[in-house]
Structure 1
């Protein structure tokens, strides 16, 4: 017997957003775009199953640390948002998720640059999935590499999240 692939309503929703087609927020159980992504100016630029890419115009006048470079915490938030977006594409109604760790390696500083975070699943488990995220400057150089594990929540554990 042929089993049809599962419909991925959040992936459909995000692809419609990306293509500029009308979306109805009531058709999904998660919130997009997120409040933090709007506040920080994140832009979804690519999405597919268990993959996402988000861009940000980084500016030390808005995102800087005491040294005048873009704060590493902003890079972690960009990676976490991109990983979360990638994982959300796998969610079915009644499911949610939470990050359970984030390991960042900073490779070079960022001043003023367009940053692109690209996240993908390295391992998709039923409950725990492993993700990688590279953040590149607009000159193509990787500024940070992030690894994270994400836990899918179901049933009562997903309620209210």
Structure 2
């Protein structure tokens, strides 16, 4: 029996256009409150932004078969996407209005497998250092018992965002 999944997303240009008009934390809170659409990748993978405060961002995912690799566990790319999102949004949450970021690198350590039996996982991102041009953040992927499933560090480049 085949399996299928459908999902919908909103125009990503709406949120992208709002970056220049909000501080980073305001921008993330607009997404949390549903006033700005979440990015399409969140709909594609089925994860959500659950928390945002200055210097910290938390994403959650309930793993499903659609996240599996050929050997029957969640694909490392799903881990990486969650951890990159959490680390990057932790940086975003501390940025002033008119400043954006992009990930320069992501270093990941896989510690435990994730399957549908794992249940909801959370990627908790925090800033380690925020400079004028770069930032360093980390993210931890945790299960419901706060066991560490994976860890990542990310360097981010900061840059001005135009409102045009």
SS at match of 1:118: strand
- Counterpart selection for 1:14 from 28, 33, 43: 28
1:30-49 to 2 correspondences below 5 Å: 32-49=37-54
1:95 deviation in Å? 2.2
TM, length-normalised to structure 2: 0.77
RMSD across aligned positions (CA): 2.2
Structure 1 residue runs of 5 or longer lacking an equivalent are: 1-7, 26-31
Structure 2 residue runs of 5 or longer lacking an equivalent are: 1-21
Q: Is 102-111 or 136-145 further displaced after alignment?
A: 136-145
CA-to-partner distance for each residue in 1:42-62, whole Å, 9 max, x for gaps?
111111112100100112x11
Provide the C-alpha distance between the structure 2 equivalents of 1:48 and 1:148, rounded to a whole number of angstroms: 18
Provide the C-alpha distance between the structure 2 equivalents of 1:153 and 1:44, rounded to a whole number of angstroms: 23
1:16 deviation in Å? 4.8
- The answer to whether structure 1 residue 54 and structure 2 residue 41 are counterparts is no
After superposing on structure 2, the runs of 4+ consecutive aligned residues of structure 1 that deviate more than 2 Å are 12-18, 90-95
Q: How many residue pairs get matched?
A: 141
- The answer to whether structure 1 residue 101 and structure 2 residue 105 are counterparts is yes
Provide the C-alpha distance between the structure 2 equivalents of 1:104 and 1:11, rounded to a whole number of angstroms: 25
Provide the C-alpha distance between the structure 1 equivalents of 2:99 and 2:150, rounded to a whole number of angstroms: 30
- Counterpart selection for 2:139 from 102, 108, 133: 133
- Counterpart selection for 1:122 from 128, 139, 142: 128
Provide the C-alpha distance between the structure 2 equivalents of 1:105 and 1:52, rounded to a whole number of angstroms: 19
TM, length-normalised to structure 1: 0.78
